[in-house]
């Protein structure tokens, strides 16, 4: 195919979901990678994962935006060192301490503004409904509402749409899809607690380990404690 591809902005956190999202996006679009750093405990490790995934896909357009105000706003264990990261409880329906109020909207608005400036037509975001036991901003309706906002709030000649291709997948399906697409999952980082070896016990590690176990695959990153979750 020689047709010129359109451009898409992909929000790449450094985690597994955004890596698989990039693997899907690259099939149809040229990519621009956006990373948000917001004072989370593991921000340097996530930034490294972002750069390595960008290198893997040979992405030249990269934007790293810093949100110092997340720390000022407070209220989350991800950015407030006084609030401990809770241990995983995959049965709980409570909003976990890592919740940052209205977080995804911050990320998406940067994505949309950058897309309008670049002339990109899509903003890819790896939101997962399975994740959303506690996070209200992972629901499919939320992204419908967001796209309505984008239609009303951008220049009439733009046709930017936020797409969330993983939203209805289970975590283990995401792992499988990533492996099928050759996504570099070994370069990604999920742990909320540590940066050298993944802690294996925080909520994010637990979700990742369970996903690999259910997919019947081995996770190639290093863990301090490799707990079996099923």
State the distance between the two ends of the chain, measured CA to CA, in whole angstroms: 43
Q: What are the DSSP calls for 154-183, one per residue? A: S-TT---EEE-TTTT--HHHHHHHHHHTT-
Q: In this structure, what are the phi and psi dihedrals at residue 66, rounded to the nearest 5 degrees?
A: -105, 135
Among 5, 28, 84, 136, binds its own copies (CB under 8 A): 136
**CB-CB contact of 135 with 99 (8 Å):** yes
Between 73 and 217, CB nearer to its own copies: 73
Q: Quote the CA–CA distance of 153 and 112 in Å, as a whole number.
A: 10
Between 70 and 124, CB nearer to its own copies: 70
State which of positions 47-66 bind its own copies (CB under 8 A): 63, 65-66
Between 43 and 201, CB nearer to its own copies: 43
In the complex, least distance from residue 178 CB atom to its own copies, rounded to whole angstroms: 27
For the record, the structure tokens of 80 come out as 């407030």
Q: Quote the CA–CA distance of 161 and 129 in Å, as a whole number.
A: 19
State which of positions 80-119 bind its own copies (CB under 8 A): 95, 100-106, 109-110, 112-114, 116-117
**CB-CB contact of 69 with 45 (8 Å):** no
- For position 73 contacting its own copies by CB under 8 A, the verdict is yes
State which of positions 141-160 bind its own copies (CB under 8 A): 141-142, 145-146, 148-150, 152-156
Under the rule (CB under 8 A), what is the footprint of its own copies?
Answer: 63, 65-66, 68-70, 72-75, 95, 100-106, 109-110, 112-114, 116-117, 136-137, 139, 141-142, 145-146, 148-150, 152-156
């Amino acid at each position: 195919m020689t047709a010129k591809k359109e451009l898409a902005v992909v929000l790449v956190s450094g985690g597994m979901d955004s890596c698989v999202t990039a693997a899907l996006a690259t099939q149809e679009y040229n990519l621009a990678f956006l990373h948000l750093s917001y004072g989370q405990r593991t921000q340097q490790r996530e930034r490294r994962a972002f750069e390595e995934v960008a290198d893997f896909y040979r992405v030249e357009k990269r934007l790293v935006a810093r949100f110092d105000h997340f720390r000022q706003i407070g209220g989350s264990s991800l950015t407030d060192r006084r609030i401990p990261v809770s241990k995983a409880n995959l049965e709980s329906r409570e909003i976990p301490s890592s919740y940052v109020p209205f977080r995804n909207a911050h990320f998406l608005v940067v994505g949309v503004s950058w897309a309008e400036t670049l002339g990109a037509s899509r903003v890819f975001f790896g939101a997962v409904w399975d994740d959303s036991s506690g996070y209200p901003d992972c629901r499919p309706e939320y992204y419908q509402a967001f796209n309505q906002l984008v239609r009303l709030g951008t220049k009439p000649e733009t046709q930017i749409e936020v797409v969330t291709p993983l939203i209805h997948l289970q975590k283990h399906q995401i792992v499988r899809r990533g492996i099928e697409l050759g996504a570099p999952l070994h370069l990604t980082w999920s742990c909320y607690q540590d940066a050298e070896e993944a802690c294996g016990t925080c909520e994010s590690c637990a979700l990742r380990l369970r996903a690999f176990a259910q997919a019947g695959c081995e996770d190639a990153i290093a863990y301090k404690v490799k707990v079996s979750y099923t």
